[in-house]
Every structure is written in C-alpha cells, then in structure tokens.
Amino acid sequence: MRLELKNITKKFKSNYVIDHLSIEFEPGHIYGLIGANGSGKSVLFKMICGSMKPTSGVILFDGEDYLKKYGVPKSTRAIIESPSFIGSITGFDNLKMIAKIQNRLSDSDIVEVMKKVGLEREMHKKVRDYSMGMKQKLAIAQVIMEEENLILLDEPFNGLDFKSADEIRNIIFNLKDKDRIIIVASHVKEDMIKLADKLYLLDEGKLSEYDKEQL
C-alpha cells in the first residue's frame, strides 16, 4: 500500500487546522507525528479514515481516490482520540462484534490478540469495569487483530503504565514490515523518538520533517 496526501487543507471558519499539507507514506516504516494537543493530529487521522472531509486536496490509496469511490479507507484500522466500546459487554465480545463485520477471525484468534496486549485476565470482564489503560489495550487489540495494511495510532500510550507502554511499543515494532504503513501521533516527543524511524512535526497546520538528532 502507498498513502498520498496531496495539498490537503481543513478549515474551520477562517482557521486552517491543516494548511496545504502534502506527504507520501510508504510501507515498511513507522512514521511519528509530533504535535501539541490541538495541533490537528486527530483531524488529519479523521480525514484519512473518511470520517471528516478535507476542505480541499485529495487522499490517495495506491494512487486511487478510494474515499471518494467507496466512502471508507482501504485496509485501514485506527485509534483516534479516546477509544469507545460498549461498556455493558465484555472486552472479548466487543472485539468479536467488530470482527463479525469481515468475518475473518475465529474466537481463538481474538483470544490470542487479547493475550498479546496483556488482557488475558480481563477478556471476560465487562468493559465498564476496565481502567483507562485496559481500554487503551483493547483499542490496540482492535486495531491489530485483522492485520490491515495501514494502522493509525493517535496517542496510543495514553493511560498506560511504563511496563505496558513498553509492551505495546514492542507490538508496534513487530507490526512493521514491507507491506504495512504505521503512523503514530503523540504530543510526547520521547515516545516518538523511541518508536518512529521517520519523524515529523505538525505545527500550525504545517508538517515538517525532523531528524532525531534535532529533538
């Protein structure tokens, strides 16, 4: 997969949140977007996912305006802002409900992904009884379970303790291969230095490339 953003803008009233942004994302990399809260990271992700339309510009998946044609992005999973699940059912049942959309996963597949993110003891607990960190792990499980080609992670370490953050970081590292693009956004530059091999700063709607030595 190749993802291209061409001259993308997003304007609210007279304010440009994303200002004529162009970038290409290639497989085999973890891209880090560093930006303060309110810098437009979530807005950018929402436009890639089709839940928000750009004011102008085009988003291409493998050279095709996939959002215009189908209304949904190609082979994409995302965490954007706070993860949302049905609190009255278990973590396992939340993932099973999502998995039924494409019907590619067995129950044992879901169990394995919950073990991978460290939720093996909580998989049959109702989500309303989850801590913030547990909900974040469940969101990570939802994103990785079907092994899609484009993964967007908005502040993936929110609510995680040091040990859990390291475990999730290792999971993200292991996702990187020649067929997958991973884009991670955070306001914590230390998280991005540890994780990403290509770094960008999003500031006042503009995206600029950063070398790790500059941070």
Over the stretch 117-145, which tens digit does the pLDDT of each residue have? 999 999 999 999 999 999 999 999 999 99
For residue 160, being part of any structural domain is answered with yes
The neighbouring-strand residues paired with 183 are 31, 152
For residue 57, being part of any structural domain is answered with no
Can you give the pLDDT at residue 91? 98
pLDDT digits (tens, 9 = 90+) for 27-78: 999 999 999 888 999 999 999 999 999 999 999 999 999 898 898 898 999 9
Q: Which residue has the tokens 């020649």?
A: 178
Can you give the pLDDT at residue 168? 93
For residue 149, being part of any structural domain is answered with yes
The answer to whether residues 181 and 213 touch, using CB atoms and an 8 Å cutoff, is no
Q: Which of 167, 181, 206 is nearest to 32 (CA)?
A: 181
The answer to whether residues 77 and 142 touch, using CB atoms and an 8 Å cutoff, is yes
| Mean pLDDT over each residue of the chain, to the nearest integer | 93
Q: Which of 111, 152, 118 is nearest to 135 (CA)?
A: 118
Segments forming the whole domain that contains residue 170:
28-51+72-214
For the domain that residue 170 is a member of, what is the CATH number? 3.40.50.300
The neighbouring-strand residues paired with 11 are 16
How far is 1 from 135, CA to CA, in rounded Å? 29
Q: How far is CA 169 from CA 15, 57, 157, in A?
A: 35, 33, 9
Can you give the pLDDT at residue 82? 81
Element spanning 192, H or E: helix 189-195
How far is 78 from 150, CA to CA, in rounded Å? 8
pLDDT class of 213 with cuts at 50, 70, 90? low
For residue 67, being part of any structural domain is answered with no
| Model confidence, pTM | 0.94
Burial 175-196 (b: 16+ CB within 10 A, else e): bbeeebbbbbbbeebebbeebb
For residue 15, being part of any structural domain is answered with no
pLDDT class of 212 with cuts at 50, 70, 90? low
Tell me the H-state helices in 18-131. 41-49, 66-70, 91-99, 107-116
For residue 106, being part of any structural domain is answered with yes
Instruction: Please say if the pLDDT value at position 23 is more than 90.
Output: yes
Burial of 57 (0-12, 13-18, 19+ CB in 10 A): middle
For residue 116, being part of any structural domain is answered with yes
Number of folded domains in the chain? 1
The neighbouring-strand residues paired with 21 are 8
